[in-house]
Copies of this chain bind each other. A is one copy, B any other.
């Protein structure tokens, strides 16, 4: 019924050349006469020819596809990263195949990686900033280009990361500089490296300032859990400054504070993390730490392409510093 899609040989026949010449034109090889090139290109457009990437992949052993392993791409961070990465990859001529994982157990991560490998992806990006992702990476063939984003800093794997520790410092110092005696912290899930880094930066800064270090309030990334922590904090009178591990948590905290009649920033100051697009319209507008996802995505692609061109290299690292965005949720204590 439907006709076979035109192949190289059809183009070749129409242009009156060999299929190899068509291949050369397609791949931009030198040593093709301008006139021939034009004839071939004309034939290509006339037939509506589209090269078959599968055949190319088969013979070269490498596809022009990059695999992404991502955990819960509904969160703002991963979603932004994924989107930015996809755009950058497309510009470099690569397609992106995503493998989402709903939870972070090792088997599901391994399964996704296996799927990518079966497709002979040229490289893999792992956006799964949890311990178990690192473990899954251990039992992988070592000859495939791979980059982890926000992965385990202790593992010998190429890594691009936003400087979580610096982010924690930025937020905490800002609150301290505003005059607060200490800063409370609502943290993300314990098994995320992001959480650990932000806690480290927070604690370190408090320590350096000789401030008392309150217990960490452990949450997940959701506004709901932020709200629960916020209720406790709202009932504790000595709390005047809170740093939350992301903006959703901050929203929950803000909500709890509002419910308890503790005004922000007059009575309590809050700093978040992520600079979600909505953050400027929280009540009050949220001071927050802004990671540069575009830069992280570009860096990941760079490290990946470097390995694709020059061979796997486990020593590659890149750290992207976040910046502080000051808005209205921070003020001196009364």
Residues of chain A having any CB pair with chain B under 8 Å: 2, 48, 50-55, 57-58, 63, 65, 72-74, 76, 79-80, 82-83, 86-87, 90, 95-100, 102, 112, 114-120, 141, 143, 222-224, 226-227, 248, 251-252, 254-255, 258, 277-278, 280-283, 285
Q: Say whether A119 contacts B98, CB under 8 Å.
A: no
Residues of B within 8 A of A114 (CB): 50
Residues of B within 8 A of A96 (CB): 97-99
- A115 → B minimal CB distance (Å): 6
Q: Say whether B2 contacts A143, CB under 8 Å.
A: yes
CB-contact partner of A53 in B48, B74, B118, B258, under 8 A: B118
Q: Evaluate whether A54 and B119 lie within 8 angstroms (CB atoms) in the complex, with A73-B82, A73-B83, A281-B223 already known.
A: yes
Residues of B within 8 A of A280 (CB): 223-224
Q: Say whether B120 contacts A54, CB under 8 Å.
A: yes
Stoichiometry (number of copies): 2
Q: Say whether B63 contacts A74, CB under 8 Å.
A: no
CB-contact partner of A115 in B87, B95, B99, B277, under 8 A: B95
- Give the secondary structure class of A's interface: helix
**What are 7 A-B contacts defined by CB distance under 8 Å?**
A54-B58, A54-B63, A65-B97, A72-B83, A74-B79, A87-B102, A223-B281
Q: Say whether A98 contacts B86, CB under 8 Å.
A: yes
Q: Evaluate whether A226 and B283 lie within 8 angstroms (CB atoms) in the complex, with A73-B82, A83-B72, A118-B52 already known.
A: no
Across the interface, name the chain B residue whose C-beta is closest to A230. Answer: B281
CB-contact partner of A52 in B52, B58, B80, B285, under 8 A: B58
Residues of B within 8 A of A99 (CB): 86, 90, 95-96
